[in-house]
Amino acid sequence: MASKVRLFIDTPLALEQIIELSETQSHYLSNVMKLKLNDKFLGFDGKSGEYELQITQLAKKHLEAKVIQKQKSFQTPPDVWLLFAPVKKDQTDFIIQKAVELGVCKLIPTITRYTISDKTKTERFVAQSIEAAEQCRRVDIPQVLPAKSLSEILSNWDKTRPLYYMDESRTGLPVKDAFSAAPAPIALLVGPEGGFSKEELKLLRQLDFATGVTLGPRILRAETAVVAALSCWQALSGDWVNYKEQNECDF
């Protein structure tokens, strides 16, 4: 039985291949997870699926493993993007983690007028998305874009992709009406803790490709709104609908 330990390996994987892991990953497997020579773990490369690997060489800062079996074929995630306004560090980490768990394929940090912090760190966001993908059994890694202003993003938007923004003023469509016929590709936009400014809401309401959505009668925290919006979309139009397990590999 394969170990529950699971890593993203940033190199193409194939059966019988010998992989030399990074010093950080070697430390994690040997010193944190306490794996030993011949122990097994799971790995994925974000392109070809999930594999079982067996440790063949183990040193203090060096670990090699052999790809011995394919466990899961690659699955394309739903084409849903999340535009989010970064908030405080821990809450932003939470947003990224839960967005990855809920199937987002692209994360776009979005700077609005009331965004608390414009000190976005793309490398940290990427690391958080990889860790979340490792834990939730995704076989792909979501794309993380550098932060941009809302106005810049909207001015270059592909109008064939519908954009649904969470409207805390409660003038948007109810969730069921907005998402029940909104298959991918789509994008969801969640504002900062202070909400969108009047000017930003005015701009969004003028866009043919943008639709306001109301998340119920209560004002939600930014990180809660992300989880609520993605969960509702997944339940109504996402890959939760008619989901069927596809762990079997065709080989």
Superfamily of domain 6-72: Hypothetical PUA domain-like; domain 1 (2.40.240.20)
pLDDT band at 250 (very low <50, low <70, confident <90, very high): very low
Q: Where are the domains of the chain?
A: 6-72, 80-236
DSSP per position, 12-65: ---TT-EEE--HHHHHIIIIIS---TT-EEEEE-SSS-EEEEEEEEE-SS-EEE
User: In this predicted model, what pLDDT tens digit does every residue of 170-228 receive, in sequence order?
Assistant: 889 999 999 998 899 999 999 998 899 999 999 999 999 999 999 999 989 999 999 99
Give the per-residue pLDDT at 68: 96
pLDDT band at 142 (very low <50, low <70, confident <90, very high): very high
Quote the mean pLDDT of the chain: 91
Give the per-residue pLDDT at 93: 94
If 0-12 CB within 10 Å is exposed, 13-18 middle and 19+ buried, where does residue 40 land? middle
CATH 3.40.1280.10, applies to 80-236: yes
CB neighbour list of residue 69: distance below 8 Å, 6 or more residues apart: 15, 51, 52
User: In this predicted model, what pLDDT tens digit does every residue of 143-160 receive, in sequence order?
Assistant: 999 999 999 999 999 999
Average pLDDT over residues 76-86: 94
Question: Is-same-fold flag (6-72; 80-236)?
Answer: no
Say how far apart CA 202 and CA 71 lie, in whole Å. Answer: 49
Find, among 223, 228, 239, 247, the residue nearest to 103 by Cα: 239
